[in-house]
Structures are given as C-alpha cells and as structure tokens.
Amino acid sequence: MKNHSIAIYGLGVMGGSLAKNLLSRGCRVSLYSKSGEERDRFSASCTEGAMCSTQEEMLRGMAPPRVIFLMITAGSPVDQVLEELAPHLQKGDVVIDGGNSHYRDTGRRADSFRERGIHYLGVGVSGGEEGALKGPSLMAGGSREGWDICKETLRSIAAVADGEPCCGYLGSGGAGHYVKMVHNGIEYAILQLIADAYFILKSGLGLPHGRILEVFQEWRSGPLDSYLIDITCDVLAAMDEDGTPLVEKILDVAGQKGTGGWTLVDAVDKGVYVPTIDESVFLRSFSGKRLLREQGSVKLTATVTPLKLPEGAGKLRDALLAGIICAYAQGIELMQAASDKYAWNLDLPAAISLWRAGCIIRSRLLLDLVAAVKEPVPNIILSERLSGITALEPALREVVTKAMAAGLAIPTLASGLSYYDCCRARQLPLNLVQGLRDCFGAHTYQRTDRPGDFHTRWQACPNKSVEIGKV
C-alpha cells in the first residue's frame, strides 16, 4: 500500500464529505470506519483513496508524521477510539477531532496526548454536508505544533473568503471547539429569530404562503443577506406531492444535539447574559410539550389586539436584523469571557472571519462584526460600526410590542429587545434583589456611597432598619 498523508476515521455524512474534499485537492488519503456499511457506501460513491478494513491497516499505510482526522460521534465514542488508537500512535503523530466535542473534553485529551509527545487538535467544522464537501469553515485549537504540521492541508480544503481560507488556529486546549460551540449557540438563536419573523408574517399578519416566500426572497438582497435566509427561501419554496407547501406539514417540534445547551451552561459559568440563545434552546425543548400546548390553546385565554404593522415587511426586516445583531453580541461576549478565563488570547476578529464563508452562520453582517470587535468597547452592541442598531430599535420595539399584544409567541425577538434595553439601562432593579437576599439570607450587599460589604437587620424596626455595618 502506498503511504498516505492523512487518514479519515469515520465515513458518515460529514466524514465522507471531508474525505472527498481532501481527495479532490490531490491529498493522499487513507479511509477507515468501524462500520462496514459506511465503508461500502463510501466505496460505492467514490473509488479514490485507500479503503482500510482495520485501523492497524490504516496506520501502516501512512508516512510519519501521521495525521488521523476523527469524524465520529462526540462523547464516549471519541474516548473509546482514542484508547484503541493510543498503543499504535507514535511521537509526532497528529490526532484531529473534527466532531462537536465539548471543549473541556478536548482540553483534557490534548493534555493527555501532549505528555506522550502526540499532538492533539480539536477542530470545529461548520458547513454541513455541502460545506464539508466543497469547503467548510474550520476552527482549530489544541497543539500548536500539530497545527503547524497539518495547517496547509486543512487550509487547502477550507472555504475561501476574499482570497483567504476560512481556517485558522485559535488557541490552546479546547479553544477551537469552544468557538464552534458558541457558533452553534448563535446559530440556534438566528434560526429561531427567523422562525419568529415567519410566525408574525403567517399568524400575525395573515399573509398567504406565496407572499411570505416573496418577503424572504426580497430580504436575500438586503442587509439580511445570509446563508440561513437563503435556505429559508429553499424550505418555503418546497412543495409536497399534492402541491401544498411542505413546511406546513412539518411537525412543530424541534430537536437538538447538545451544543446549544452547552453554550447556555457555559454562559452561566462565565456570568454572560445570553437571553436570545437561551430562548432559542429552551423553546426547542418546550416545543415537545404537545399535550400542554394543545390543551392550553383551548383553556388559556388571552386579551389580544389584532396585529397591524404599517410597512410590515420593512419593519419586520429591521426588527429581525436588530435581533440577529443582539444574538451575535451575546455569543461574542461569551467567547471573550472564555478567552480571558483560559488565557487563550483569542483573536476575535480572526475567529469571526472564519465564519465568512463555508459555515452555517455566514452572512453579509459578518464584515461589520469583524470591524466591530476591533473597537475598544465592552460589547459590540456599543460599536460605532454597529451604531445603526439604534436606528433599528424603533422597528424592533414596535414589532415586539404589537406582536405580543396580538398574543403571538415570539420569544427570541422579545429577548433581543430585552437585551438591548438591559444594555442601555444605567440603573437595573438589582438593588432591591440584593436587599431581599440580605434580608432573608444575610448575603450582604454593597453600597453606592462607600466601599465594602454590608449587612442590615432589616426587620429590627418597622420603619427604620438597623445597619450592622461592614462585614
């Protein structure tokens, strides 16, 4: 068997597409999957590459330094495969995990392999099946030495934006998988924001399906121009066998694979407010409560006002754009918080640039986001480059308030407005929260007029509290 420069371990949808991408670039590729069905399916669709029947055969056919690209299910399957591979790996080999692994798992694995002189990379891959085949966005983290060994190969298969491959090294440990995780959280939010807008057009304004499709098609050529708006048009345009819109026959229950939930848990850990991502994740879970919703639609009444929205499509376009900006702002703040905590020195402009092509959340807006994160502001919502959000705010507020008055459930658009208002609030009512916490639990509080932590005996006197003083 000829020597091969890289191996793809796992030939499912994504692994198979990446393998074909590598082969189309002239790379020498060893191919392996534990599943004989996957091996047969790939061989039937592609005769190139060296298909191996065992992982030992795969490794024997490679010249050092060997690069093994894992495209397998995240979690325990990765640890199992690594345990099986470990005795056969040599110092200087590179292992790439291209699945949606949790960033903490990636950091742990990178540390373990580093002790043996083996380079471990966690690479976030975005773009779905088509992106993997034609050019994905690749977000790498882990061993810098491992990146140096295989970066040219990875950059050769990535999507290209403005002449630059959307592939880069983001930091040590789990930095690459962290950025991919937050990317997915933002993706959750944008998908639901688009769905909220669709719901307003359909159930609020009562537009016929054909007109709704036209609205989204019009948005493709404006500031909302993005991959997700493009495929929204594709989904809305699809007709069932009987000539009716297929989307209207899809059950309104959405699944998820975990990365959105990981983003929420990590946001709590980092103390970052991500309400739009939060709503998009929890709504998928809530959508499965069909019995509650069916009975609630009969038993729960609401005082509603019919939705009237002058310049409806234009107002809704601006509201949706404002909501999307807020979603990006939440995710980007979370990435910065993680970079600070783990000393990744994450280059945010470079990280966001990797999303400009190939990936699911690519959009025209990303050019402004790249410029915005270069400004010395605590959050991009304050950026001069995105100052147009103040002009979008009236539309967001009008759409949200009127849609809610009409009894429509639009949680992500509403959370975007709440986020905007929190960001502009000089004073929040958390002073009362802190007073209450101190009253029932002696948790202490801080004052506006002097430093220190204080505790008060709030119930010592009906009309006057007794301050205990500094703690």
Long-range contacts formed by 22-31: CB under 8 A, 24+ apart? 22/153, 22/157, 23/48, 23/49, 25/156, 25/157, 27/153, 27/156, 27/157, 28/2, 28/3, 28/4, 29/4, 29/5, 30/4, 30/6, 30/58, 30/61, 30/62, 31/7, 31/58
147: exposed, middle or buried (Cβ count in 10 Å: 0-12, 13-18, 19+): buried
Catalytic residue (one of 20, 38, 151, 187): 187
Half-sphere exposure of 198 (CA within 13 A, CB side): 18
Distance CA 86, CA 94 (A): 11
Q: Which of 20, 151, 180, 402 is catalytic?
A: 180
3-class DSSP assignment, residue 62: strand
Q: How far is CA 263 from the centre of its chain?
A: 8
Report angle CA 391, 393, 396 to the nearest 5 degrees.
130
Return the C-alpha torsion angle 260, 265, 269, 270, nearest 10.
Answer: 20
In degrees rounded to 5, what are phi and psi of residue 447?
A: -105, 160
Compute the residue count for the chain. 471
Q: Quick check: is 311 catalytic?
A: no
Smallest CA-to-CA distance from 186 within 101, 125, 130, 264 is with: 264
Measured distance CA(27)–CA(156) in Å, rounded: 10
Strands 164-165 and 167-169: unpaired
103 and 181 Cβ atoms separated by less than 8 Å: yes
Using the 8-state DSSP alphabet, how is residue 246 labeled?
G
180 is catalytic: yes
Catalytic residues: 180, 187
